[in-house]
Structure 1
Amino acid sequence: MNGSDLTREAEAAPTATGPDDAKAPSPTFSPSTEEEAAPRVEPSGAAGIDGADVLNRVSDFARRFIYYPSETACIAHVLWAAHTHLMDAWFSTPRLAVLSPEPGSGKSRVLEITALLVPNPALSVNSSAAYILRKVADQNNRPTILYDEIDAVFGPNARGNEDLRGMINAGYRRGATVGRCFTEKGKVLTQDFSTYAAVAMCGLGDLPDTIMSRSVIMRMRRRGQGEKVEAFRPHLHEQPASVLHGELASWAASVSGLAETAQPALPDGIADRGADVWGPLLTVAELAGGRWPDLARQAAIEAVLSAKVNERPSLPVQLLADIRTCFGDKDRLPTADLLAKLLADEEAPWGDIRGRKIDARKLAELLRPYGIQSSTIRMADGSTPKGYKRDSFQDTWKRYLPAPEPDATCATDATSQESHNKTGASSVADKTAPPPCGGTDEGVAKPES
C-alpha cells in the first residue's frame, strides 16, 4: 500500500469519537521473526480519554500550519510528539530529523508546532554541548530538546562537535550517561550526567550517519504553487495548542502502565535499529487505537524502506560493491586490471580520493580491515602477477552487500548497477510516493483516522 492508499484510507475511515471507536480492531502484521505474533495492545479508555480522537485532533492542528511531504511524515510527527509524553516507558527514544536540501521548506515551523505539543520543550539554536548536557541531566525535569539549524553544528563547514554528537547518540537509550571531570578543593572528581531525552533537530542536508540511523526522518520541501497552509499566529494558536497538549499528557498518563509492558507486533522487515526507532511509535498507535495502528505500521514500512534507499554507503563498502561487479564471473583479477576497471567509471570516487587516484597501496589499505589481502595469482597465460581472488571476498560480500543482480558483468555497468541497488529503489518509490498532505486551497486536510 503506497501513500495514496494511506490517504484514501485516512479519508474513508471515520474519526473515532468514543471508547468503542478507539478500540476498533485492525489486522496484526506478522513480526519480523519466526516467533508467534505478540498479542495486540488493547487501548485504554481510562478517565474516558479517547486516544485515537486526541491524535486525530493533534494531526488536524499540525496540518493547518505544516505542509507535510507525505502522509508518512505526518503520521510519524504526530506519533513522535505523543511518545515524548511517555518517556519513562521507553528503553530507547527515536530522534526526529527534519531535513531539507534548501531553506524555506518549513523545517522551523515543524519545530515551532512540536514545541507546543511536547512536555518541557527546550527550543535551541547553536547551543553548546555543555548547555544541553546540563539541561538533560536534570531527569526530574527532563526537557524535550528541539534543536534548530543543526547544519551549523554538523554541516560541511562545521568543525568538531563530537561532544554534542556523542550526547545525542548516547541519550537515545535510557540509562546512558556521559562522564565528566571537575576539580573541588584541589581534587579531581568525576560526575556522571544522564543523557536520556527526546531530541528533534532540523537543518539543511543530512546529519552524521550515527544520528540518522537513530532517527525518524522527515524530508521537507518547499511548497509549490497552490500548496497553501494557514499562517501561524502564536497569540491566536498557542491557546488551542495548550488544550491539545493537556489532553495528550492526560491520555499518556492514563496508558503509561500499558506502555511500559506493551509488545506490539512489528511489520516484516523492521528489526534491529528500525525496531528501536519505530517500536515506541507503534506502541503509541496501538494504545490509541482506531485507525492509528494500521497507519503507523504502514508509515513504519515506508519510512524504513525510504531510509534504506537513501542510505549512503561508506567508502569501503562502496569499494566492495564496485569490486564485486568488476570481478563479474572471474575467479581472480590482477591488481592492475582491478584498478583499471575501478577507474573506468568517471562518476565513482576512485579517481579522486583526497586529490589522488586509487592505487595498489590505497586499495590494500581499504580492504585490510575486512581481512582481504592481495597475493601472487597464476593467470591462464602462465603469468603470476599480484592480484586478488574471488574467494577472498565472498564472505565479506555476503555480510556487507545485498545479493548481486544476475546480469552485472562489466566494470562500468558494475558501479552503476551497484549504485542502482543502493539508490535505484528510489525510482520505484517515486512512482508510488505518497502525495503531500496538509493545507490546501480547499482548507485543512481530513483527519488520518
Structure 2
Amino acid sequence: MTLSTEAVLALAPDDASAKAAKGLLAPAKWPTLGYSDEAVWGECQGSGSKPYQTQVDLSGPVFRCSCPSRKFPCKHGLALMLLRAQSGASFTAAAPPPWVAEWIASRRDKAEKKEARAAEPAAAPDPAAAAKRDAQRWKRIEAGVQELARWLDDQTQRGLAALGSEQQQAWGAMAARMVDAQAPGLGQRITQAAELIGAGEAWPARLLDRLGRLQLIVDAVPRRESLSPATLADLRIALGWPQDREGLLADGERISDHWLVLGQCTDERDAKLVERHVWLQGRASGRRALLLDYSHGGRGFETGWVSGSERAAVLCFYPGHASQRALVAELLADAPASTAPATDTPDEWQRMAQQIAANPWQPLLPMVWAEAVPARHGDQWWLRLDAAPQALPMQLATQEAWQLLAHSGGAPLRVFGEWDGEQFAPLTAWASGAAAGSAPVWTLAGVRA
C-alpha cells in the first residue's frame, strides 16, 4: 500500500500529532529506514540514548511504535509514512529485522487463528438457556420502560419550555436507571435529549422530537411479539441490546464489493474510550455501510482506512430494516488501487426519507452532495445546496469550517457527511465533478470537536 502525503495526514489523531510528525522528517533523525512487501520500518532518534522502533504493517495500515505516546498513530508512525510518501529513495529494500518480523508474524498468526476459529463448527447453542436469558432481560427492560413512560408523561404535562439547567441532573438520573434496566440505548437518548435544554432557538420543539422517538420505543416494547423480525431487530438495537458478533458473522447478510471509503471520524466518549465511524459505499451494489469501532486506552484500531480510497471486502450487515451498520467479514486482495469518490445517488432527500421510514431510530444518516458550497452567516456555518433551494446547518469546528471554505473558494464541492436530523457534519470533500482516481481536497482530521 502506498499512501499520499494527504492520506497519511488524514490518519493523524489530531492536528498537534500531524504538526509534530512534520518536524521529524529530517533524515538525520532516522538512522534506519527499510521496507518490504509487507511492512515499512525505521528507528527514530529521540531524546533518549535508544532510538524508538517504529513499524507499519501495510495491510492495514496498522502502526506500532516503542515510544510511550498514547496517541494512535503516534507522531513517529506518521513521520515514517510521510517519509515513505515523500522520500521513498531513503528507504532500503531488505528483509525485516527481528523486531519487525516477530510483530508481522504474530499478526499473521493471530489472523490465521481467527480464520481457523471461524471455520470451526460452532458449538451447538442451548435454545432453552438463551430463551431464559432473553426473557429475564426483557422483564427488566419492561419495568424500565414503564417507569420511563410515566416520566415522559410528567415532562410533557409540566411543559418543556419551563425546563432549565437544574433539571439536567434529574434527567441524568433517569438515564442511569435505563442503564440499570439493561436498556443503555434509552439512557444514551435521554442524555442526548437533556443536552438540548436551553440550547439555541426553538429548543423545545427539537426536544419534543427526541422525546417523541423515545415514546415510540416505549410503545414498541410491550408490542414486540407482534413486530416483524426486522422491526424487532431495529428495536433491540435502539434499546442497546448487544449483538453477538460470531452469530452475526455466521447468519448476517453478506455483500462482497469494492468499497469506497466515503469518510470517517473519531469521537471521544470519555477519557479513555474513542469511537470511530467509517462510512463505505459499494461500487457495484451502491449499498452504504457504517463500520463502528472502539478503541480503549489509546490502543488504536485494528484496521486503518483512508478516506477516498477503495478496498475489496466482504461486509456482514446487522439485521433490521435498511440496515447500515456492518462488520468486515473478510478483506480481499484484489482491490484496484484507485481513489474515486462514490457515485451519485438519484436523490439524497428521497434516500434519507426511505431510511427514516424504514427505521425511525437511526441516529445518523450518510449523505453525499454533488454540488455544495460552505458559507457563514452570523455565527452559524451552512452548506448551500445548489441543486435545491436549501441550506443545511453545519456541525463543524470553526477552524475546520474555514479550511473547508478555503478549499471551496466559493465554488461548489462534492461533500460527504453525517446528518443527525438537525445538523450536517461534513467528513470529506472532493472538487466538484472530480474524475475517478482523484483524492479528496479536504478531510476531517483528528478527534471531532
TM > 0.5: no
Between 1 and 2, higher relative CO (CA 8 Å, sep ≥ 6) is seen in 1
Compute the TM-score of the two structures, normalised by the length of structure 2: 0.19
Higher strand share: 2
Compute the TM-score of the two structures, normalised by the length of structure 1: 0.19
Which of 1 and 2 has greater Rg? 1
